Amino acid sequence: MTRARIAATLVPLLLLLPTVTAPQIALACSCMPQTVADLPAGTTVIVGTIGARLAERRPILVERWFSGANPEPTLVAGFDEMTANGGSSCSISVTTGETLFLAFDRASPVSSCTMHAPVDTEYGQELVTAATARYGSGVAPPPPMEPAGLPQSPEATTDLVVVGGGIGLAVIGLFGGLILLARRDRGRAA
């Protein structure tokens, strides 16, 4: 082999060497440490129970509302979660039925940068205590509103079915009677 041929073979391999030996780029989740006292005005601060995952979101059944506009009984928030397919460097792991303290911007997904902790842990209790010191004891959000005109209880539903069924039978009976009268009149005319 000539030197030119050896160089032609080795040069491309030497050019690829840095891509194989260079350290891989790792993207870390960069979060600013926060305390409840540092939270910006308007931050939603709640204690709530996490519901089942629906695509990239989860419902949160709110138990205590400390801060944020429009207290609601149920929020639906995006979650940056670890899944079977992986996750981002800021992903968190949450469990359906887990009760969490959460302080978050409702326009952004909940992630490891979101102030959160299970309320049955020491850190979770510290966050609840700090939120109570800053915002007061929090409020239970209003119950979900029932749509106007719909029954409020199972008994009311039963009453509605009985009344509706009675009206339906009366209408069927009326039309049946009219049909019989019409046939009888036709029979006399013939």
On whether both 160 and 126 belong to a single domain, the answer is no
| Strand order from edge to edge, sheet including 74-78 | 74-78, 57-67, 44-50, 99-104, 115-118
AA identity, residue 15:
L
Question: 14 pLDDT exceeds 60?
Answer: no
On whether both 168 and 128 belong to a single domain, the answer is no
Percent of the chain residues topping a pLDDT of 90: 28
On whether both 164 and 129 belong to a single domain, the answer is no
On whether both 98 and 170 belong to a single domain, the answer is no
The rounded distance, in Å, linking the Cα atoms of 70 and 180 is 61
Q: Residues 110-147: pLDDT tens digits?
A: 888 889 999 999 999 999 999 999 999 999 887 766 55
Q: Residues 158-174: pLDDT tens digits?
A: 665 666 677 877 778 77
The rounded distance, in Å, linking the Cα atoms of 117 and 34 is 13
Tokens for 175? 């039309």
On whether both 119 and 160 belong to a single domain, the answer is no
Residue 67: per-residue pLDDT: 92
Q: For residues 4 and 181, which has the higher predicted lDDT (pLDDT)?
A: 181
On whether both 48 and 92 belong to a single domain, the answer is yes
Number of domains in the chain: 2
Beta bridge partners of 100: 48, 118
Domain of 123: which CATH number?
A: 2.40.50
23 to each of 15, 28, 132, how far by Cα in Å?
16, 15, 47
Q: Which domain holds residue 167?
A: 153-185
The rounded distance, in Å, linking the Cα atoms of 126 and 48 is 16
65: in domain: yes
Helices (H), 71-153: 122-135
On whether both 75 and 125 belong to a single domain, the answer is yes
**Is the pTM higher than 0.75?**
no
